[in-house]
Amino acid sequence: MTDLSTWGVVACADAVRSGRLSAVALATAALDRIAARNPAIVAVTRTLRDRALAQAAAVDAQLAAGQDPGPLAGVPYGVKDLFDVAGLPTTAGAARLKDAPPATADAEAIARLRAAGAVLVATLNMDEFAYGFVTDNAHWGITRNPHDPARFAGGSSGGSAAAVAAGMLPFALGSDTNGSIRIPASLCGIYGTKPTHGSLPLAGTYPFVHTLDDIGAFTRSAGDLALVDAVLRGGAGEAAPLGRPALLGGWFAANLAPDMAAALDRLSAGLGGLPVVDLPDVARARSAAFLLTAYEGGRLHRDALAADPLSYDPATRDRLIAGAALPDAIYAQAMAFRSVFAAHAERALADHDVLIAPATFGPAPRIDDPTIPIDGAPQPARANLGLYTQPISFLGLPVVAAPLPVAGLPMGVQLIAAKGRDSALIDYATMLEGRGLIAAKGEGR
């Protein structure tokens, strides 16, 4: 009854609220599942047993007293290790911060989830300072894909995605700057969201690139995603239905693995044959997003790098140092191009409510061959898995990453809408899920 590999957010909350299952039993089951699965997956960095059991007991006490603990009553979850958790250092995946002063309060997102009855049980692995797409962490280790442990889970929120995909937790929080939720969601076969930029609370999260950073959730179904997202934003928001979908072509149709191209064709056919839209200047948008990331990330870490460069993972350090050396004029040019590219996207969204694009080129790359093919040549996966997500990040639009119904290794798409249409976009994903055009992943692997 308490096998979390088959339980989603809504099912857990319903069971606790109805009295069929106690919140303490659910938290215990999550902790047991983590103990059993995590050694092979390396998704969890710290379990919070005492806190989780105390929170769960408080939920049970509220129910016993006839009080409503909230829509997420007793639901266990985890957070990427860049959210402040009261009493713990916020490491952002960095060994240099493992002994930092503990956070004095929970991040705002955690506080909202706690008020809704959710129970925090773990912190989750990530690329150091969120700078990477594979969750290869020099301190905690590589997070492995639950569908094939020889492959990456994606990153930088790979621990969050893998924990949900492996059935350790019904949902988890991550952050997305250039694809750090959408990529691991796709590679692990689950749902994830990058919201309209700035629409979900960032207070109490370790920053990376303020121009692009957002937080979001991972779940195994669109309905679960809707519930968690609504709690995080304080309500479901405007949800007038979306229609008129289109596929993004050009850049987004190049360099695809054959299985991904075929899956997109099936999705298009299932929707009656979709029109194809080509956005101009996508390559420039990706380059500009790269520059924004490098510049802002480098400036954020410049003083620490000057004081103690050897405390950084070399793979992270060298990229941050390069970013810190970028001139202000280059950054200004990248920022100026945002309005140009945004106008292209606005024209596309004036004619089509939902733009659909691949989240990655195909399935997860192997850990022993950490490359992906771009224009016929192998390129490092850690820096290039964001081929299709980075240009969209540049726009600040809401995106839902949704798993495709494929027989082999997981792959997913980005569903993209106009700013502020987050709730409607999740509803659209729910409709596609109901029609079998995207996949609900109720089982862990």
Enzyme catalytic residues:
80, 156, 180
User: What secondary structure does DSSP assign to 170-232, as a single string?
Assistant: SEEEEEESSSTTHHHHHHHT-EEEEPSTT-S--TTB--S-TTT-EEEEEESSHHHHHHHHHHH
Contact status, residue 106 vs residue 204, Cβ threshold 8 Å:
yes
- Cβ density class 92-119: b for 16+ within 10 Å, e for less: bbbebbeeeeebeebbbbbbbbbebbbb
Cα atoms in the 13 Å half-sphere on the side-chain side of 86 = 12
**What is the C-alpha separation between 332 and 74, in angstroms, rounded?**
47
State in Å, rounded, how far the first CA of the chain is from the last one: 17
Residues making up the chain, counted from first to last: 445
**What is the C-alpha separation between 231 and 229, in angstroms, rounded?**
5
406: its two tokens: 């494929």
Q: Who contacts 314 (Cβ-Cβ below 8 Å, separation ≥6)?
A: none
Q: Phi and psi of 213, rounded to 5°?
A: -65, 135
The helix/strand/coil state of 123 is strand
Q: Who contacts 130 (Cβ-Cβ below 8 Å, separation ≥6)?
A: 82, 92, 93, 156, 157, 175, 177, 180, 206, 208
Q: Phi and psi of 373, rounded to 5°?
A: -85, 125
317: its two tokens: 């350090």
H or E element: which one contains 141? strand 141-142
The vertex-341 CA angle with 348 and 352, nearest 5°, equals 10
**What is the C-alpha separation between 131 and 369, in angstroms, rounded?**
19
Cis peptide before 156 (omega within 30 of 0): yes
